[in-house]
């Protein structure tokens, strides 16, 4: 599997290109301010982007959707519960003191059926809590249990997503982590929206927020 990650200031949010090494089909996940760098990775690998997949609709994860959409003309996917956030991207930007271009309309809403690119599939899991429409994108070979989890801002190495934003809920987030993400297996690699990769095994054993929650 081809996997490229880019992050730039001010948010240092991870955006991803995931590609099939045989067919050169690919997906772009959460294009933000690093969209130019993601498109550079697409060109460097000679990829054809089949889908633009969003884990959620906070501004740092969507500011590059328009640029990528114009460049590759692929459909944009989002969970329907995050559509109000997406449609108010300009207002979100103002809250943080940024001028944000409204992204293009969403083409498709996740219906929890697999999404395919080349020899790979994306299984979509609902993981609300950081926001109402957060999802985990589980990527692996077709018909196999994917071990690459693109989790947005649900889970980080040693931390969890913020729950002090509109539409967030700490208990819901913890249930998404412990009930949904952890069920995908200790061997899975977690690719978070910010910071370094981790694993389900590591976060289950050492994440202080998870340990506190499990202690009750």
* Segment 73-129, tens digit of pLDDT: 999 999 999 999 999 999 988 888 888 889 999 999 999 899 999 999 999 999 999
| 190, 151 contact by CB (below 8 A) | yes
If you count DSSP H runs as helices and E runs as strands, how many of each does the chain have, helices first? Answer: 7, 14
Of the CATH numbers 3.20.20.10, 3.40.50.12780, 3.60.15.10, 3.30.70.330, which one belongs to the domain with range 2-215? 3.60.15.10
Pair type for strands 189-192 and 198-199: antiparallel
Chain-wide mean pLDDT for the chain?
96
The answer, yes or no, to whether residue 16 has pLDDT greater than 90, is yes
* Segment 86-99, tens digit of pLDDT: 999 999 888 888 88
Conformation bin of residue 200: beta by default, left when phi > 0, alpha when psi is -120 to 50: alpha
* Other residues' Cβ atoms within 10 Å of the Cβ of residue 190: 23
Average pLDDT for residues 142-152, to the nearest whole number? 96
pLDDT, position 95: 84
CA-nearest of 10, 15, 4, 39 to 193 is: 15
pLDDT, position 147: 98
% residues pLDDT > 70 (the chain): 100
What order of strands is seen across the sheet that includes strand 2-6?
2-6, 15-19, 25-29, 48-53, 76-78, 108-109
């Amino acid at each position: 599997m081809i996997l490229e990650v880019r992050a730039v200031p001010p948010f240092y949010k991870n955006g991803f290109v995931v590609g099939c090494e045989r067919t050169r089909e690919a997906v772009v996940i959460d294009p933000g301010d690093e969209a130019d760098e993601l498109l550079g990775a697409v060109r460097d690998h000679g990829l054809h982007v089949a889908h633009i997949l969003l884990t959620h609709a906070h501004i740092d994860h969507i500011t590059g959707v328009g640029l990528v959409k114009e460049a590759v003309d692929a459909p944009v996917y989002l969970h329907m519960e995050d559509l109000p956030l997406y449609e108010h991207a300009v207002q979100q930007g103002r809250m943080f003191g940024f001028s944000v271009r409204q992204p293009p309309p969403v083409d498709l809403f996740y219906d929890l059926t697999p999404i395919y690119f080349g020899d790979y599939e994306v299984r979509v899991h609902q993981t609300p809590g950081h926001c109402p429409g957060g999802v985990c994108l589980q990527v692996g070979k077709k018909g196999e249990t994917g071990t690459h989890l693109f989790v947005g801002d649900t889970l980080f190495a040693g931390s969890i997503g913020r729950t002090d934003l509109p539409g967030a809920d700490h208990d819901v987030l913890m249930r998404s982590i412990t009930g949904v993400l952890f069920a995908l297996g200790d061997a899975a690699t977690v690719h978070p929206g910010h910071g370094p990769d981790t694993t389900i095994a590591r976060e289950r054993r050492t994440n202080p927020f998870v340990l506190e929650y499990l202690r009750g």
